[in-house]
Amino acid sequence: MSRRLVQGGVIALAIVVAVVTGWQGNEPAGEPEQSGTAVSTSPGDLPFDFFVLALSWSPTFCATEAGRGAQLQCGPGADFGFITHGLWPQFERGWPSYCQSTHGERLPDAIADDLLAIMPDRGLIQHQWDKHGTCSGLSPTNYAALIHQATQQIALPETFERGDGGTMNASTIEASFLASNPGLTHDGIALTCPNRRFAEVRICLDHDLQPRACAEVDQNGCQANGLSVPAR
């Protein structure tokens, strides 16, 4: 998707960002509570600085109580490794959330259906549109296309493709993503590891979906050694 397409959708939107927390759906563990900052945009302004692509390690989520209730992602016959948690508009400091959108709050069923292959939970998909997609300035169709594009361009390290599992250091996991994705740097990636279990990798992308640095995201990432990585 071109920069022109992204900017064209974003410029059309004037947003006021509200502070909303407490969603209780089957979302992969690890997303921190997010609070927005009131923002208004004028024509020509981008309402955010970059994107965060969040990829969740499904076996970690499926071992939780919430995961046991997510049949499509974790039920019999499911075999997911990384799933796409979301594509989040982000500021250099903080993030917008739950914006007023000219496209409404409800994601059409056909678009949700198209995302199920990489985001296998309808509650997750709808929540991602409500909280993050409405702040992108894009239509639901274009936002979903951008999620697909961002996901497809990230190469997964071989150890995760095999789904081996085991114990790994955060630095080793980050290094494996850097080795698989030329252009990605240490200051543009972060992990989450609640309870010392690897849950998620977050990759910062500019408006053209190219890797870029993101100091705040990187600084808040997990740096622990000896993380549990459940096998696929």
Mean pLDDT, all residues of the chain: 83
Taking only the tens place, the pLDDT of each residue in 138-195 is: 999 999 999 999 999 999 999 999 998 999 999 999 999 999 999 999 999 999 999 9
Please calculate the CA angle 108-51-57 and round it to the nearest 5 degrees: 80
How far are the Cα atoms of 54, 69, 163, 164, 197 from residue 204, in angstroms, in the given order?
9, 30, 24, 26, 22
CATH code of 3-229, in short, is 3.90.730.10
Query: Residue 99's closest CA among 54, 146, 49, 41?
Result: 41
Task: For 58-75, write each residue's pLDDT tens digit.
Answer: 999 999 999 988 999 999
Tell me the domain boundaries of the chain.
3-229
Confidence of residue 3 (pLDDT cuts 50, 70, 90): very low
pLDDT value at residue 60: 97
